[in-house]
Chains A and B, each alone.
Chain A
């Protein structure tokens, strides 16, 4: 089962939920993705990712109070769960450890004694 894996976009959304805590909801997550990464994403894509994250148990959510701003509709605020945090840490560690294993040579290439 790939159920507990964290996709690239899902991870991005998860991170941004953390950044925006405790005010993370669909639209400002999208806004944050656009400003931070310059990617153009539709609001539908964000909601889709959020629903997947919730199915996998990485985030939990609750409805906030209705505001005039949204024409009287409530917004759903998201928050990272413990397993979400673990999944993020696992990804982060994996990435760091793999990055650290890359030799200098592979990164810089052969420079024949030139220093830069």
Chain B
């Protein structure tokens, strides 16, 4: 089992930490034990968990017996008790400041908890499969018209051949996912159908609730998910029931042989309707024993290796199989077969075309991590600001402590104790808010997600929080403690302490905070404008008032078109094989010596008119011309990319997928992808047979009533098929939903940033006013006007805000301009200035509102009272 090529190295930092605090004579045996433990964990649960466990145990050695240094005397323990007591008293005395500190830190800690849970999910995806670290998915690296692409699929036969040939492969399963209609009694729905070798259930750890996983060997058995069982039978124990699977109009009978347990939250793939792979032969006519076109007959292939397998050797031995496949498919030759570990499959899913695992986008998560770190820093600044200014009130205490013999070390210890106490409260409060308030919030925003963490039982979150607590305590406490303890007692008592300098750092921090807040507000506003931008943007065709009904066969198509002709509400109708925004083919156009990939939409006559695609030159398809099947209509982007002359485009002949076709018209660019994807060349072809979709153009506002009519007719005509109609404008709903979720999060972040900086400002302002209260009082006594005092106070903060803006406006402009160019490649217009202006107004408003309470207080007070006190 041992693999000498793999070097086992526990986290170095943890080792150094251990060496630092632990007694010399104990280190060796402890490290040895931890090392062994680490090795076990590494084999059992992967490096991420193993590292966490290692840290957890290192922290567990923070016990008196192992700690280095002289035995602590009882005296210092008593002193700590005194520090704690003073600390608690101080927190209580300065309620407002303590509240601001705790609240600010706790909110940001809560956000960190959420980010941690999101990241942890990302790193534990699919790790619940017991053999996860020995399972690999075979990927095909393809030469996609000169560009390298990785495909998640392999030729169908590869898996079987490998299993016979490579002894290190313990198990293998091939998977193909299609869709079909499942019917039980009068329940008819479209479902995801998974075809797989019977080893699927032993390779992956999807335990069954009822039934035997071995039943998958039988071709007529089906294993269904719990969700499906409830949907069709309202029950989970349904083994033995018979369901119909209808594909291409032919129905096949399957017997339920098992019901799977609800899938874990960190499963990046699962199944609903799982049947034996051999069924591909009788359902789709797939020839299971032939090497076939990688594009049309390809499957996901997973293998489980025994411990002795060498990946590099295995990968290179795969090379000999690509030739057979490439002979059949010369257009996109396979360069290499690659093994992707199951543990990283979901994370890399974004780089793979058609991956089996659905991964999320780590970039967005990284962005959240950065944001939460910035917010944490912001909260720390608040804390540092407030505690430094607060010492103003405690100068005498510090001086007296020093005069009666307190050492600087002890003063540092005292302030650090207070500081850690506050951080501890904040950490606990933050953990609770994060778990019970923010996580459910995240689940509500991302529909279908189920993030949760058990604070008291999950050791990893405890280590994380403890680490966060330590870092926060040190970062936020070190400066105030060192700064305060360095005061000279004589100077303080003489009242000679220099005033200059002590606010410079606070001002700097506040400026940085304003800057961060400004950026957060701008990003929140900009993301909000994305949705508006999308809906106002011209889609290049008419999305509104279009009802689309997918059909399975000619009969359904005919009936639907007949219905359209009868209904007065329907202005036009057309059939098509492809549907804009939903489905299309890839084609390759040969230009001179270059090849260009195009999206090819196969449509019936009248489709362009129904969908309102706008013609620039030439003509659209006409049923009357029989030669139109040899003709294509291209989009403007096609002309741009191919470099053809727009004026002489008509009747130009091009070679499409080896066939000569003639261009008869050009249409404006229309959106078949969302705005995140750049426009690509596309063309329409005519085919009036084999419609997959019927599109209806209805009178304005008649969409819902028309759908009702169509739905009723459908139910009467085709009880065996589900009605799957949708509105064309819904096609990108999923996309809007995801940007909407992002939106809400950015707005929330902006809100937290505003609140944090407002709190920091409020705390600082109240202390600044307090410090200068005598000055203001004297000014008032001497006849200063209210406006003068307002000026005095707000001026200093407005200067800070001005500096933040000077820094923030250009920086955030370039940042977001760059980001938006990446996100929306086709939009030429730059960022609008509106969000920036709004952010300036908002920030200024918040600053003014925050200090206005102090100003009002100052204006109302009786100056004599303040001066008389002494």
**Chain A residues engaging chain B, CB cutoff 8 angstroms:** 25-27, 30, 42-45, 47-48, 51-52, 63, 69-71, 73-76
Residue of A nearest to B61 (CB): A44
Confirm or deny: B85 has a beta carbon within 8 angstroms of a beta carbon on chain A: no
- Cα separation A63 to B31 with both chains bound (whole Å): 14
A-B contact pairs, 11 of them (CB 8 A): A26-B30, A30-B33, A44-B57, A51-B65, A51-B66, A63-B29, A69-B39, A70-B32, A71-B32, A74-B32, A76-B29
Per DSSP, are chain A's interface residues mostly helix, strand or loop, or mixed?
helix
Which residues from chain B contact A45 at a C-beta distance below 8 Å?
60, 63
Q: Are B32 and A47 touching (Cβ within 8 A)?
A: no
Residue of A nearest to B38 (CB): A71
Q: Are A47 and B26 touching (Cβ within 8 A)?
A: yes
Nearest-Cβ distance from residue B773 to partner chain A, whole angstroms: 53
Nearest-Cβ distance from residue A8 to partner chain B, whole angstroms: 18
Most buried by A among B8, B36, B37: B36
- Cα separation A69 to B31 with both chains bound (whole Å): 12
Told that A47-B26, A52-B65 touch, could you supply 20 new A-B pairs with CB distance under 8 A?
Answer: A26-B33, A27-B32, A27-B33, A27-B36, A30-B33, A42-B56, A43-B57, A44-B60, A44-B61, A44-B62, A44-B63, A44-B66, A47-B61, A51-B66, A69-B39, A70-B32, A70-B35, A71-B35, A74-B32, A75-B32
Residue of B nearest to A51 (CB): B65
Nearest-Cβ distance from residue A34 to partner chain B, whole angstroms: 12
Q: Are B34 and A47 touching (Cβ within 8 A)?
A: no
Q: Are A42 and B31 touching (Cβ within 8 A)?
A: no
Q: Are A26 and B57 touching (Cβ within 8 A)?
A: no
Q: Are A69 and B60 touching (Cβ within 8 A)?
A: no
- Cα separation A45 to B30 with both chains bound (whole Å): 12
Nearest-Cβ distance from residue A99 to partner chain B, whole angstroms: 33
- Cα separation A27 to B40 with both chains bound (whole Å): 11
Which residues from chain B contact A51 at a C-beta distance below 8 Å?
26, 65-66
Given contacts A27-B36, A52-B65, A70-B36, contact A47 B30 (CB under 8 A): yes
Q: Are B65 and A42 touching (Cβ within 8 A)?
A: no
Partner of A75, one of B29, B39, B57, B61: B29
Which B residues from 561 to 575 make CB contacts under 8 A with A?
none
Most buried by A among B26, B30, B62: B30
Confirm or deny: B655 has a beta carbon within 8 angstroms of a beta carbon on chain A: no
Confirm or deny: B28 has a beta carbon within 8 angstroms of a beta carbon on chain A: yes
Q: Are A43 and B29 touching (Cβ within 8 A)?
A: no
Which residues from chain B contact A48 at a C-beta distance below 8 Å?
63, 65-66
Which residues from chain A contact B61 at a C-beta distance below 8 Å?
43-44, 47
- Cα separation A76 to B31 with both chains bound (whole Å): 11
Nearest-Cβ distance from residue A83 to partner chain B, whole angstroms: 20
Nearest-Cβ distance from residue B7 to partner chain A, whole angstroms: 10
Partner of B37, one of A27, A75, A76: A27
Q: Give the 10 A-B CB pairs with smallest separation, nearest first.
A: A44-B60, A73-B32, A70-B32, A42-B60, A27-B33, A76-B29, A44-B61, A26-B33, A51-B65, A71-B35
- Cα separation A42 to B37 with both chains bound (whole Å): 11
Nearest-Cβ distance from residue B466 to partner chain A, whole angstroms: 13
Q: Are B29 and A26 touching (Cβ within 8 A)?
A: yes
Q: Are B57 and A74 touching (Cβ within 8 A)?
A: no
Given contacts A47-B65, A47-B66, contact A42 B57 (CB under 8 A): yes
Contact with A along B333-348 (1 / 0, CB 8 A): 0000000000000000
- Cα separation A7 to B78 with both chains bound (whole Å): 27
Which residues from chain A contact B36 at a C-beta distance below 8 Å?
27, 69-70
Which residues from chain A contact B29 at a C-beta distance below 8 Å?
25-26, 47, 63, 73-76
Which B residues from 550 to 598 make CB contacts under 8 A with A?
none
Residue of A nearest to B8 (CB): A71
Which B residues from 1 to 56 make CB contacts under 8 A with A?
8, 26, 28-37, 39, 56
- Cα separation A70 to B10 with both chains bound (whole Å): 12
- Cα separation A47 to B61 with both chains bound (whole Å): 8
Nearest-Cβ distance from residue A59 to partner chain B, whole angstroms: 14
Which residues from chain A contact B34 at a C-beta distance below 8 Å?
43
Which residues from chain B contact A30 at a C-beta distance below 8 Å?
33
Which residues from chain B contact A25 at a C-beta distance below 8 Å?
29, 33
Which residues from chain A contact B28 at a C-beta distance below 8 Å?
63, 73-74
Which residues from chain A contact B66 at a C-beta distance below 8 Å?
44, 47-48, 51
Which residues from chain B contact A70 at a C-beta distance below 8 Å?
31-33, 35-36
Q: Are A43 and B60 touching (Cβ within 8 A)?
A: yes
Residue of A nearest to B31 (CB): A73
- Cα separation A52 to B33 with both chains bound (whole Å): 18
Residue of A nearest to B59 (CB): A44
Which residues from chain B contact A73 at a C-beta distance below 8 Å?
28-29, 31-32, 35
Which residues from chain A contact B31 at a C-beta distance below 8 Å?
70-71, 73
Which residues from chain A contact B57 at a C-beta distance below 8 Å?
42-44
Nearest-Cβ distance from residue B661 to partner chain A, whole angstroms: 68
- Cα separation A43 to B56 with both chains bound (whole Å): 10
Residue of B nearest to A46 (CB): B33
Which residues from chain B contact A71 at a C-beta distance below 8 Å?
8, 31-32, 35
- Cα separation A75 to B29 with both chains bound (whole Å): 5
Nearest-Cβ distance from residue B303 to partner chain A, whole angstroms: 31
Residue of A nearest to B64 (CB): A48
Which residues from chain B contact A63 at a C-beta distance below 8 Å?
28-29
Residue of B nearest to A74 (CB): B28
Contact with A along B312-343 (1 / 0, CB 8 A): 00000000000000000000000000000000
- Cα separation A75 to B34 with both chains bound (whole Å): 11
Which residues from chain B contact A69 at a C-beta distance below 8 Å?
36, 39
- Cα separation A48 to B62 with both chains bound (whole Å): 10
Residue of B nearest to A26 (CB): B33
Which residues from chain B contact A75 at a C-beta distance below 8 Å?
29, 32-33
Nearest-Cβ distance from residue B66 to partner chain A, whole angstroms: 7
Residue of A nearest to B63 (CB): A48
Which residues from chain A contact B65 at a C-beta distance below 8 Å?
47-48, 51-52
Nearest-Cβ distance from residue B9 to partner chain A, whole angstroms: 9
- Cα separation A30 to B36 with both chains bound (whole Å): 12
Nearest-Cβ distance from residue B54 to partner chain A, whole angstroms: 10
Nearest-Cβ distance from residue A27 to partner chain B, whole angstroms: 4
Most buried by B among A25, A42, A47: A47
Which residues from chain A contact B37 at a C-beta distance below 8 Å?
27, 43
Which residues from chain B contact A42 at a C-beta distance below 8 Å?
56-57, 60
Nearest-Cβ distance from residue A4 to partner chain B, whole angstroms: 18
Which residues from chain B contact A47 at a C-beta distance below 8 Å?
26, 29-30, 33, 61, 65-66
Residue of A nearest to B58 (CB): A44
Nearest-Cβ distance from residue B111 to partner chain A, whole angstroms: 29
Residue of B nearest to A77 (CB): B29
- Cα separation A20 to B458 with both chains bound (whole Å): 31
- Cα separation A73 to B35 with both chains bound (whole Å): 9
- Cα separation A42 to B62 with both chains bound (whole Å): 12
Nearest-Cβ distance from residue A31 to partner chain B, whole angstroms: 9
- Cα separation A25 to B26 with both chains bound (whole Å): 13
Which residues from chain B contact A52 at a C-beta distance below 8 Å?
65
Nearest-Cβ distance from residue B462 to partner chain A, whole angstroms: 12
Which residues from chain A contact B32 at a C-beta distance below 8 Å?
27, 70-71, 73-75
Which residues from chain A contact B62 at a C-beta distance below 8 Å?
44
